[in-house]
Amino acid sequence: MSAYQNLEQMKGDFYTQKFEAGKQDGTLIINMGPQHPSTHGVLRIVIEVDGEYIVRAEPVLGYLHRMHEKMGETQTWGGFIPNMGRVDYGHAMAWNWAYVGAVEKLMGIEVPERAEYLRVIMTEFNRLTSHLLWWGAYILDLGAFTPIMYAFDDREMILDILQRPSASRLTYSNFRVGGLQMDFDDKCIELMKTFIPHFRARLPMYHDLVTENIILRRRVEDIGVIDQDMCRRYGCTGPVLRGAGVPYDVRKDEPYSIYDRFDFEIPTQDTCCSMGRYKVRLAEMEQSMRIIEQALEQLPSAEGGHIVDKAPKPAMKPPAGEAYFNVEGGRGKIGVYVVSDGGKVPYRIKLRAPGFSNLSAFAEAATGTLLADAVAILGSLDLIIPEIDR
Amino acid sequence: MLQALEGVATQCVAKQDPAVTGHVWSVFLAPGQIVKAARKLCEAEYSLEDIFAMDFEEGFLVQYHFNRWTINERIVLRVLVSKDNPVVPSITSVFDGAEWHERETRDFHGVVFEGNPNLVPLLLAVEDKDLCPLCKTDKARKSIKDVLALGEVVSCSAEVEALFAEAEAEEASDA
């Protein structure tokens, strides 16, 4: 008899024990995470394996839960903006935008044209950093170390550009109700204009280096099928949905701001697999660059400043009512629903995180695949755990 | 008229201005009708955006956001449940993704979703499951009519109208 058998903790916690209740004969239950490197920190998945094959899987969330929705109910409307940068460190500006957009809707504020352009440019640059971070980390998860170096090289240049008008490099919170905290300076616009041709020349190298690599293709092609029907049942959006062949993008289908002024495409793939989602994201980077180019061109003729005159103070009091506003983030549809009772503090803030719905489809997609494929599927969903746990 | 929900016994159907609230339709339902409504919306190719609750004096208002991929027509389904017995049937049989949203709502407000296959804490720790972190204090809690507006009513039962009655009477006296 082993000395460990009497230890209470060997039984596992509540979730393991509950999961174990449905165990079949001859299978093994393992915990992947919350410290597993490919789960990016704090996602835990309880998996039942039969040999190398996954019989059942159940994500266990909450290891990075910070209750942003409660924080929203305890501070002023303006004071909640920095929280948005912390909800999703990958595409912080889209979250900023979703929140201030909802409050602007509630208060009936019209943002100056120039501010709209600045928002579009910054959010699209931030989308590039989000996809680059995902690209590098995904290939790293699959065992190739070099690509993340290339990705971070380019990402670093964007961060240098974005820190000029936002004063931060990761957890941006430079959006304000009515506009932005700062305008671009000339140097910033110059850097942006030189970055686009540079990055456009780099993208083919990404494809040469990784996309056509036979090892990658064997790992991701036909792995983790999430089709249209699954997307609808689970509420998946973003590249997961577009990887299933549905050209749904909030920027086109529920146009907000000035996105209807730009000529860009919605890349889709019909394969529904991890490779499809991979290709969609890479194609989106090119589209983001197209939007940035057009926006930079039109920026000098835009009217107004970077923020509306007499912009509301942080302790603003929006009129009683409700407003739902959504934007297209790097991971999908970001929705913010705000309710005001007319006071200084929000009555209710609901954050709809795209990663939350995307991850809920994982258990079904992973059933029947190899354990090694679980890593390929998880990575292809582009998970940012703070956004899922909120 | 809202064709997708034909055949569902609604308590109130109102049109809202999407430029103001983001919703096109606002629908009040009895808890017993929610599964039928979800099935109808699923057949009409709607997808689920989120489920959450709000704490009001009248009870917990559970809200479901639905939208389509083709035409933007966001519907919000609202189910008012009493605080003594906050039970709503689960719609996981229609939308699998609802499972997590319902578990989250159970964590934050203590609303129980009957029929959810796995109604255990999702974001909160197991020992904190009865914490109800988003429940309001008596002082902060408001009445539905002070916060929400009904919109342009298409059909409405007396029950729901009564929820908003006083606010409308006040507006009339202001005018």
- A194 with A159, same domain: the answer is yes
- A31 with A98, same domain: the answer is no
Q: Would you say residue A67 lies in a domain?
A: no
Helix (H, G, I), strand (E, B) or coil at A23: coil
Residue A3's contacts (CB-CB under 8 Å, 6 or more residues apart) are none
Residue that wins the pLDDT comparison between A337 and B166: A337
Is A339 in contact with B54 (Cβ distance < 8 A)?
Answer: yes
pLDDT value for B1: 58
Q: What is the mean pLDDT of residues A297-319?
A: 87
Q: What is the mean pLDDT of residues A304-313?
A: 84
Chain B segment 13-52 residues within 8 A of A by beta carbon are 19-23, 42, 45, 47-50, 52
Q: Is A348 on the interface with B (CB under 8 A)?
A: yes
Helix (H, G, I), strand (E, B) or coil at A234: helix
pLDDT value for A143: 85
ipTM rounded to 2 decimals = 0.89
pLDDT value for A7: 65
Is B20 in contact with A348 (Cβ distance < 8 A)?
Answer: no
Is B97 in contact with A235 (Cβ distance < 8 A)?
Answer: yes
- A106 with A214, same domain: the answer is yes
Number of folded domains in chain A? 2
Cβ-based contacts of B118 with chain A (< 8 Å): 58
- Report residue B89 as tokens: 């049937």
The shortest C-alpha distance from A319 to chain B (Å) reads 9
The shortest C-alpha distance from B40 to chain A (Å) reads 13
Is B123 in contact with A320 (Cβ distance < 8 A)?
Answer: no
- How large a percentage of chain B has pLDDT more than 70? 94
- Residue B32 belongs to a domain with what CATH number? 3.30.460.80
Q: Would you say residue A68 lies in a domain?
A: no
The shortest C-alpha distance from A148 to chain B (Å) reads 31
Residue A360: which of B45, B69, B97 has the nearest Cβ?
B97
Is B20 in contact with A339 (Cβ distance < 8 A)?
Answer: no
User: What is the average pLDDT value for chain A, to the nearest integer?
Assistant: 89
Q: Could you read off the pLDDT of A254-268 as tens digits, one per residue? A: 888 899 899 999 999
Q: Could you read off the pLDDT of B6-63 as tens digits, one per residue? A: 778 888 888 888 888 888 888 988 888 899 999 989 888 899 999 999 999 888 999 9
Is the predicted pLDDT of residue B166 greater than 70, yes or no?
Answer: no
- Tell me the C-alpha distance between B83 and B62, whole Å: 12
- A185 with A313, same domain: the answer is yes
- A38 with A152, same domain: the answer is no
Mutual angle of helices A274-298 and A186-206, in 10-degree steps: 150
- Tell me the C-alpha distance between A33 and A141, whole Å: 14
Q: Would you say residue A66 lies in a domain?
A: no
- A44 with A117, same domain: the answer is no
Report the chain B residue with the minimal C-alpha distance to residue A65.
Answer: B123
pLDDT value for B173: 46
- A98 with A179, same domain: the answer is yes
- Report residue A12 as tokens: 């596992």
- Tell me the C-alpha distance between B53 and B110, whole Å: 9
Q: Could you read off the pLDDT of A146-195 as tens digits, one per residue? A: 899 999 999 999 999 999 998 888 889 899 998 898 888 899 999 999 99
Q: What is the mean pLDDT of residues A56-72?
A: 90
Cβ-based contacts of B48 with chain A (< 8 Å): 235
pLDDT value for A4: 58
Give the number of other CB atoms < 10 A from CB of residue A125.
21
- A170 with A309, same domain: the answer is yes
- A149 with A8, same domain: the answer is no
Residue B22: which of A70, A105, A333 has the nearest Cβ?
A105
Is B19 in contact with A105 (Cβ distance < 8 A)?
Answer: yes
- The whole-model pTM stands at 0.90
Is the predicted pLDDT of residue A41 greater than 70, yes or no?
Answer: no
Supply φ then ψ for residue A15, to 5 degrees: -70, -40
Is A253 in contact with B72 (Cβ distance < 8 A)?
Answer: yes
Residue A233: which of B65, B95, B148 has the nearest Cβ?
B95
Q: How many residue pairs bridge chain A and chain B with CB atoms within 8 Å of each other?
A: 117
Is A73 in contact with B96 (Cβ distance < 8 A)?
Answer: no
Query: DSSP letters of A303-329?
Result: -S-SB-TTPPPTT--PPSEEEEEEEEE
Q: Would you say residue A31 lies in a domain?
A: yes
Q: Is A68 on the interface with B (CB under 8 A)?
A: no
Number of folded domains in chain B? 1
- A143 with A7, same domain: the answer is no
Chain B segment 69-128 residues within 8 A of A by beta carbon are 69-70, 72, 74, 76, 95-97, 99-100, 108, 118, 120-126
- Residue A270 belongs to a domain with what CATH number? 1.10.645.10
pLDDT value for B65: 92
Residue B125: which of A62, A320, A348 has the nearest Cβ?
A62
Task: Extract the runs of DSSP E, i.e. beta strands, from A313-380.
Answer: 321-329, 332-340, 348-352
Residue B22: which of A70, A324, A347 has the nearest Cβ?
A324
Cβ-based contacts of A317 with chain B (< 8 Å): none
- Tell me the C-alpha distance between B134 and B120, whole Å: 17
Q: Could you read off the pLDDT of A352-382 as tens digits, one per residue? A: 999 999 999 999 999 999 988 888 998 899 8
Q: Is B146 on the interface with A (CB under 8 A)?
A: yes
Q: Would you say residue A65 lies in a domain?
A: no
Cβ-based contacts of A67 with chain B (< 8 Å): 133
Helix (H, G, I), strand (E, B) or coil at A362: helix
Is B65 in contact with A233 (Cβ distance < 8 A)?
Answer: no
Q: Would you say residue A272 lies in a domain?
A: yes
Is the predicted pLDDT of residue A289 greater than 60, yes or no?
Answer: yes
Residue numbers of the domain that contains A50: 3-60
pLDDT value for A1: 46
Task: Extract the runs of DSSP E, i.e. beta strands, from chain A.
Answer: 28-32, 44-50, 53-60, 175-176, 179-180, 321-329, 332-340, 348-352
Is the predicted pLDDT of residue A57 greater than 60, yes or no?
Answer: yes
Is A321 in contact with B149 (Cβ distance < 8 A)?
Answer: yes
Q: Would you say residue A331 lies in a domain?
A: yes
- A140 with A35, same domain: the answer is no
Q: Would you say residue A232 lies in a domain?
A: yes
User: Could you tell me the CA-to-CA distances from B120 to A38, B99, B123, B125, B130 in Å, in that order?
Assistant: 26, 10, 10, 10, 11
Residue numbers of the domain that contains B145: 3-174
